[in-house]
Structure 1
Amino acid sequence: MIWLSERQKFGVGFTAGGFFFFIFGIFAFFDSSFLALGNILFVIGLILIIGPQRTVSFFSRPNKLRGTFCFCLGIFLILIKRSFIGFIVESFGILGLFGDFFGTIVQFLRSIPYIGDVLSHPVIAPTIDRLAGVTNMLPV
């Protein structure tokens, strides 16, 4: 069981709300208002979950600077109503910042009953593994 502080619980709520509004903004044909609200809630949630100092240190790592620049530029473009271009630039930033976590996310999703069956299907699994960078270590 994971124990979260009250601040972290609020952070999870803000992050989930940010994700919801971001997805809804995409479904609403890249509505800049929903995308901007999703970005703002996501960043606030991230700060509440891991703390301000760890957030700054994560975004300022030398190997994450390109991702940070693209992420911030994408948010700026969305805020000035250039939502589609901002979304594309921000997507590159998200891949640069959080691309290391995709393998962990895929492994977690494979533990969920119905989703795991689909992701572990012999036809789909190699493609998902290649996209997420998952290496399957077989015991010898």
Structure 2
Amino acid sequence: MVALSDFQRIGVGLVGFGLFFILFGILLYFDSVLLALGNLLFLSGLVFIIGFKRTFSFFFQRSKMKGSSFFLGGVIIVLMRWPLLGMLLEAYGFINLFRSIPHHLPTPAGSFFPVAFGFLGSMVNIPLLSKLLQKVGDSSSMV
């Protein structure tokens, strides 16, 4: 179990609420206010979790500048109330931010997505969640 500080716990809550508002904003046909609130909560939660300096250095690395500019530009476009275009830019920027690291850089090889999918695959080992997934999987409803 990873010990979290109080700031990191607040950050996890902010990221969770941010993702909820983004999902809810998408479900309500790209409601610009919900998407903007979700983006702001998500980014502020990220700052609470990893700190301002590390967040800044993550987004403004030379190798990630294209993805960062699309992602942060998408956030600004959503804040300007053009939600569909902003979310498309954010999605493209997100994919560029977390894709595999170029081989010519001296950073460790690997990618965010395989690690994230491996984590999601290991979530079936969480006791409460595994019972929930079993009940959902056993449901034979055709509705």
Matched residue SS, 2:2: coil
Residue 109 of structure 1 is matched in structure 2 by: 120
Residue 48 of structure 1 is matched in structure 2 by: 48
Residue 138 of structure 1 is matched in structure 2 by: none
CA distance in 2, matches of 1:5, 1:94: 27
CA distance in 1, matches of 2:118, 2:37: 30
State the identity %. 42
Residue 97 of structure 2 is matched in structure 1 by: 97
Matched, 1:79 2:79: yes
**1:46-99 CA distances to partner (integer Å, 9 max, x unpaired)?**
000000110111011111100110011101111111100111011111111233
Matched residue SS, 2:4: coil
Shift of 1:8: 0.4
Q: How many residues align?
A: 115
Deviates more, 1:92-101 or 1:39-48: 92-101
**1:27-46 CA distances to partner (integer Å, 9 max, x unpaired)?**
00000001000000000000
- So what's the TM-score if we normalise by structure 1? 0.79
**1:10-32 CA distances to partner (integer Å, 9 max, x unpaired)?**
00000000000001111000000
Deviates more, 1:96-105 or 1:8-17: 96-105
Moved over 3 A (4+): none
Matched residue SS, 2:94: helix
CA distance in 2, matches of 1:30, 1:64: 27
Structure 1: gaps spanning 5 or more residues: 116-140
Paired AA for residue 102 in structure 1: F
C-alpha RMSD over aligned residues? 1.2
Matched residue SS, 1:111: helix
Matched residue SS, 2:3: coil
